[in-house]
Amino acid sequence: MIFNVKLNNDSEKFLERCDVVLQKRIIKKLKMLKETPFIHDAKSIIGSEKQFRIRVGKYRIIYEADSVNNVINIIKIGKRGNVYD
């Protein structure tokens, strides 16, 4: 089952500003999410049963998976230290 990945404005801006190598790594993870939203390194976020995070080096991608509508909403992309704010 293929999911649609939707980035919010902040996530799109972050992706546009980061360097090409990091962009490629993040896009690779987003493509993996299209295939399966619960990849092996996805962890649920404490306090929210719908939100998950995946690692891309020092960076994190926070997302929600809607399996009814086959949509993955990317909530935030950022460095580990401040992505949870």
The CATH number of residue 17's host domain is: 3.30.2310.20
The residue type of 29 is K
pLDDT range class, residue 71, cuts 50, 70, 90: very high
| pLDDT tens for each residue of 14-60 | 999 999 999 999 999 999 999 888 877 889 888 888 899 999 999 99
- Does 53 reside within a domain? yes
Q: Residue 5 has what DSSP assignment?
A: E
Distances (CA, A) of 79 to 3, 34, 85: 25, 22, 11
Q: What is the count of structural domains for the chain?
A: 1
**Which domain does 68 fall in, by range?**
4-79
pTM score over 0.85: yes
Which residues contact residue 69 at a Cβ distance below 8 angstroms, ignoring those fewer than 6 apart?
none
